Structure 1
């Protein structure tokens, strides 16, 4: 461990100045868990020589200076666990408590979406299983909870037709047929299911018709996005490893089944990776598998996180995939229906010191309000999370160290990750759900635990963050084996709440009770020429002398989907000077001089078609 700590000192020196990594070649058969000592020796040797950190780029210097001065101290954030009071009685089953096999460590998808179009966010929780129950046909159903508009939820799973048995993992949300109602895609251990929303509170399994079964593959995260701007949502599915349930490697049975010398579940190294899938929407309720045609994931890496974003702002959605124990992938969209993988060139494939990482959850937002989307990615313990700053030229710089995110995260094993503005000051904060994969660590004095507390990073408006989670309510001070994470305004009161899943336990619904939060604006997009959800639309608002930028999406984090409405904190501003929506179709809608503290429904080429203040709202979405 001494060597490991030494390498972290070198890494910290690199990160303090920002760094675009170059790959350190590690033999593909070497596990990230096993290889740590080898990598550390390399960097200890490097530390013995003169170290000259790279000069900061103009974009990096800009991130640390702004006309908005930092507050002297972070606000008193307050999040309360209201799970039981809200009526959520879900229990996440995910294998044995010992976690003998790798699939027992990866459950926990969440979908936040408005399934019945009443204007309130509902919750779908994906359930797993155990080997014994899976073989016996015993069911651990996922659950759908309808929002009752008063802070409570009602279980409507059976009525909705979502009681399917199986070992589930992730979930994606999107209106794939543009009928005005959100559909669901759920990944399982050996397949996946596409649920069509029937407009009457029920869903129908249309997987076979849709051609998106992901047969014989273990899917984790999935995401809808219209990569060719034809007005229909396409679907990307991250697949993890090929699993033979009849011949599972036993706990501690090989070199890839050890963590710091103790026996643990095997993988992902030593197991065959499963190739991701990209399904093109044909516009008639069916999809075509274009994975091979577009040369997607030819290395069959261990996929865990999926994110559609337009990182170069050319109007075409690009794709970022977080991989476990292998390089993460960034697919640049050529706007002609194809992709080029540019992760290494763009600086988002490896760690700041050039190593492959165990990437888990990812999200994107403009954390420094410079008008360009940045990326956060969670990683394994003994490694820092990444905060990739967009340098406006097709490249990113990992600013986790200078921003104060990297060093804090090293002892934690991160999964769910979400940007959100918990205090409505106009600057995106970050929530990270943590939890180790090996419960065996609790029997040793490694300085890490199986259950871990979440991390809440408050944006100081200077390019830096302060971690305040342990002081933000008892619920955030507690430890969890957390996985999926989603953010939503469940009360329609302008405060963003958080929900995360916990292995072998209840989810945690964290109500945002932060005092003295600022004003806000919520925007719901409805496409006409573009896809109905408006996924991929780029929105810019100006209020109180601050310009903010965001992109419309639902699917990100780890195996999860969040409230698709864009939420902007306005601080002290009571009016919004302008709103510009750039649609995937190329159309642009501009709105001016709007009041704060309301939700606006903006339709493509029509502008504002509805306004909702607080909890006063009616169903408004219909087929176009």
Structure 2
């Protein structure tokens, strides 16, 4: 039934897809694909309350899978086992919830709360109780018969992929970096004497393109790392600004421009936060971020203190855009992880010390700073910031008017947890910035199968030419990259399999990515930069990986 549902969905028979996925959910209420797809399809069909029930179950199934991964890495992790038991109870899987309590007590008999809970669960068990309590299966509340079965083609259809398999002979790139005067290598403070890659070493830096002197030629800002630990601002490793001379050459003007952040920089955002007509720079750092104001005379000044930006988290990406519609660009910090041993800890993987998976650390909460245009920024907190919860290990961000109503929405790519899709509901009546999380029901939270991925880089463009913005997201090794096609405003379908991207990206690990029309045929092409976090070649996993052009 799930396969039938996926087929019906792919050919536009959405009511039939609902029927098929519902039939699958009736037979197996723990089938994650059916639950996730029903959440989106029912919401799109104006049955939002029904859709929310399936989406909520899909989230719990995804969380359970993540907890099982944690237990597989540490078989004595009783905290993960306890949460797994809680999630299983919420799913109506009382037999398993009871079993996990028993395993916890085998490891640690002193956990009296677990013993009490186990006794309460035992009261629910009886020989006729199935693996999953039917009362907690939302498919039983759905009138399946109101949805049609698929209409099958009379003959075998010839499925046409959206992308051509032909290799263009007209696309050829030439490395002219040195010739154009751009001399730069990112420094991640790798320690050759230490086995394994520490967490801060993997991300690399960002690139900002801006015409800082308004001469009509785009200039380049490249962020840089610094010696670890960053106890003081580095004088030897600094961000760089390269001015475009307009004749095919760039020149380093970092010192003359007053720039050169010497902390451990990650991403960068470009925007005119003070609305004076000149592009400013916002730098994401491990530690305190930095805001540079463009004076308009070819130089910048550090406006971080003046703007009241005090955060010290690990910010991987950042955004400078007007989110509340008052014509004053605001700041969004995409934050990653936190923990006392975050930057020192290595994990034993396959018998060797290597970089840890992010799940062993706590996620860091994002920050949003509102610009009133009349002084310091104001951080959104409390009830107004509920859309920033929970903390979610972010790596990439895009702002776009997805709803097509003149307000910027946000897509945030997160690592091994659900992505965020923040719908902008700001208005004069809302009294300021108002956003609502909608990734689950929009189809952007997980991959097609309802699984959270290690989402990293994000590219945005109209891939299929329907006038709606689509998102491409790079992911981890043996996950495949994801392509979210926006079929109707605000509703996306993850389409890596149907567009030829799944197989070619499955055994690679993607980082940076960008859409561009490389052959100038009017259709966007795609560039992906790949490479692994650490050296796992002893496990027959490639380390250095080639970039790709689609």
* TM-score, normalised relative to structure 2: 0.69
Of 324, 335, 339, 1:239 maps to 335
The Cα of 1:279 is off from its aligned counterpart by: 1.2
Asked whether the equivalents of residues 172 and 224 of structure 1 are also in contact (C-alpha less than 8 Å), the reply is yes
2:210 maps to which residue? 113
- DSSP-derived class of the 1:408 partner: helix
1:538 maps to which residue? none
Bigger relative contact order (CA 8 A; separation at least 6): 1
- DSSP-derived class of the 2:440 partner: helix
Alignment of 1:322-341 (within 5 A): 322-336=413-427, 337-341=433-437
Asked whether the equivalents of residues 139 and 166 of structure 1 are also in contact (C-alpha less than 8 Å), the reply is no
Asked whether the equivalents of residues 196 and 353 of structure 2 are also in contact (C-alpha less than 8 Å), the reply is no
Q: Partners of 1:181 and 1:388 in 2: how far apart?
A: 34
1:274 maps to which residue? 364
The CA deviation string for residues 434-483 of structure 1, in whole angstroms up to 9 with x for no partner, is 11111x223x252x3222111111xxxxxxxxxxxxxxxxxxxxxxxxxx
Of 536, 540, 546, 1:441 maps to 536
Higher percent of residues as strand = 1
Q: Partners of 2:513 and 2:542 in 1: how far apart?
A: 20
The Cα of 1:156 is off from its aligned counterpart by: 0.6
Alignment of 1:1-400 (within 5 A): 17=10, 21=37, 22-23=58-59, 24-27=61-64, 29=67, 74-96=168-190, 97=192, 99-131=196-228, 134=231, 139-213=236-310, 215-244=311-340, 248-252=343-347, 258=349, 262-292=352-382, 293-336=384-427, 337-400=433-496
Q: 1:362 to 1:34 in 2, by over 3 A?
A: farther
Of 410, 425, 432, 2:521 maps to 425
Q: Partners of 2:206 and 2:219 in 1: how far apart?
A: 14
Asked whether the equivalents of residues 273 and 329 of structure 2 are also in contact (C-alpha less than 8 Å), the reply is yes
The CA deviation string for residues 568-587 of structure 1, in whole angstroms up to 9 with x for no partner, is xxxxxxxxxxxxxxxxxxxx
The CA deviation string for residues 252-296 of structure 1, in whole angstroms up to 9 with x for no partner, is 2xxxx53x5643122411112111011111112431111442313
Q: 1:156 to 1:352 in 2, by over 3 A?
A: same
The Cα of 1:299 is off from its aligned counterpart by: 1.2
The Cα of 1:100 is off from its aligned counterpart by: 3.1
Q: Partners of 2:236 and 2:266 in 1: how far apart?
A: 15
Q: 1:408 to 1:70 in 2, by over 3 A?
A: closer
Q: 1:81 to 1:406 in 2, by over 3 A?
A: same
Higher percent of residues as helix = 2
Q: Partners of 2:267 and 2:69 in 1: how far apart?
A: 25
Say yes or no: does 1:454 pair with 2:544.
no
Q: Partners of 2:269 and 2:232 in 1: how far apart?
A: 26
Q: Partners of 1:223 and 1:179 in 2: how far apart?
A: 18
Q: Partners of 2:301 and 2:70 in 1: how far apart?
A: 41
**Structure 2 portions without partners, runs of 5+:** 12-32, 38-57, 74-148, 152-156, 428-432
Asked whether the equivalents of residues 303 and 322 of structure 1 are also in contact (C-alpha less than 8 Å), the reply is yes
Range 137-146 or range 389-398, more displaced: 137-146
**Structure 1 portions without partners, runs of 5+:** 1-9, 36-53, 458-624
Range 26-35 or range 103-112, more displaced: 26-35
Asked whether the equivalents of residues 161 and 499 of structure 2 are also in contact (C-alpha less than 8 Å), the reply is no
Q: Partners of 1:285 and 1:55 in 2: how far apart?
A: 59
The Cα of 1:72 is off from its aligned counterpart by: 6.1
Q: Partners of 1:112 and 1:181 in 2: how far apart?
A: 13
Asked whether the equivalents of residues 109 and 126 of structure 1 are also in contact (C-alpha less than 8 Å), the reply is yes
The CA deviation string for residues 186-212 of structure 1, in whole angstroms up to 9 with x for no partner, is 011111000000111111001111123
Q: 1:389 to 1:319 in 2, by over 3 A?
A: same
* TM-score, normalised relative to structure 1: 0.61
Q: Partners of 2:400 and 2:233 in 1: how far apart?
A: 42
Q: 1:312 to 1:184 in 2, by over 3 A?
A: same
Asked whether the equivalents of residues 197 and 533 of structure 2 are also in contact (C-alpha less than 8 Å), the reply is no
- DSSP-derived class of the 1:430 partner: strand
The Cα of 1:25 is off from its aligned counterpart by: 2.3
Asked whether the equivalents of residues 312 and 392 of structure 1 are also in contact (C-alpha less than 8 Å), the reply is no
Q: Partners of 1:101 and 1:373 in 2: how far apart?
A: 36
The Cα of 1:30 is off from its aligned counterpart by: 5.5
Q: Partners of 2:376 and 2:150 in 1: how far apart?
A: 51
The Cα of 1:82 is off from its aligned counterpart by: 0.9
Q: 1:355 to 1:151 in 2, by over 3 A?
A: same
The CA deviation string for residues 521-561 of structure 1, in whole angstroms up to 9 with x for no partner, is xxxxxxxxxxxxxxxxxxxxxxxxxxxxxxxxxxxxxxxxx
The CA deviation string for residues 103-126 of structure 1, in whole angstroms up to 9 with x for no partner, is 111121111111111111111111
Q: Partners of 1:16 and 1:72 in 2: how far apart?
A: 27
The Cα of 1:303 is off from its aligned counterpart by: 0.8
Asked whether the equivalents of residues 177 and 285 of structure 1 are also in contact (C-alpha less than 8 Å), the reply is no
2:111 maps to which residue? none
